[in-house]
Amino acid sequence: MGKKKIVEKSKEELLKETESLETTLAKKTQQAVKQKVEQGRIYINATYNNTMITVTDNRGNVITWMSSGSIGFSGPKKATPFAASKVAEAIVQKIQRSGPTDVEVLVRGLGSGRDAAIRSLAAKGLNITSLKDVTPIPHNGPRPRKVRRV
């Protein structure tokens, strides 16, 4: 194995290392301050199989997201209103420090968790400025295929 060599650093080298650590910490705190958002949007996607909530700023940059599957619900329990309310509570806890307080809510989908998610967001103290349903609705659609002749 051999002898281990012990390296002693001079005071100048130690000072340089501490200065570099301080500058990196200062940069990280500046980045955290940049993430402070006053207004934002919350997108609720309620499908028959899952409920997903995404929080963005006004430009559309994603701050955080969560789904009922990521919390721990599995199978048909993911699409329940209870799971949707738990997802909304978890999102509010995530964005409490840095996230938006005044939000626009955009709801998409026909799942059973859409109303429960909105109610729990309002109950947790978020200021909902507008509520919009952006579910895509087909109107007439493309031309149907020709009739099959046998």
Token couple for 75: 């199978």
**Which string of b and e fits 40-49 if b means at least 16 CB within 10 Å?**
bbbbbbbbee
Closest Cα partner for 109 from 35, 33, 54, 27? 54
What's the average model confidence in pLDDT over 95-120?
A: 92
pLDDT tens for 110-130 read 989 999 999 999 999 899 999
Token couple for 58: 């006004």
Inform me whether the pLDDT recorded for 134 exceeds 60.
yes
Inform me whether the pLDDT recorded for 28 exceeds 90.
no
116, 84 contact by CB (below 8 A) = yes
Q: What is the mean pLDDT of the chain?
A: 87
Three state DSSP letters for 85-133? HHHHHHHHHHHCCCCCCEEEEEEECCCCCHHHHHHHHHHCCCEEEEEEE
- Is the pTM for the entire model greater than 0.75? no
**Local structure of residue 10 (DSSP, 8 states):** P
What's the average model confidence in pLDDT over 89-111?
A: 92
- Kindly indicate the confidence band of residue 97, based on its pLDDT and cuts at 50, 70 and 90: confident
- Kindly indicate the confidence band of residue 1, based on its pLDDT and cuts at 50, 70 and 90: low
Question: Does 3.90.1150.10 match the CATH number of domain 39-133?
Answer: no
Instruction: List the beta bridge partners of residue 45.
Output: 52, 108
Inform me whether the pLDDT recorded for 33 exceeds 60.
no
Give residue for tokens 């109107």: 139
Q: Alpha-carbon distance 60 to 41, whole Å?
A: 8
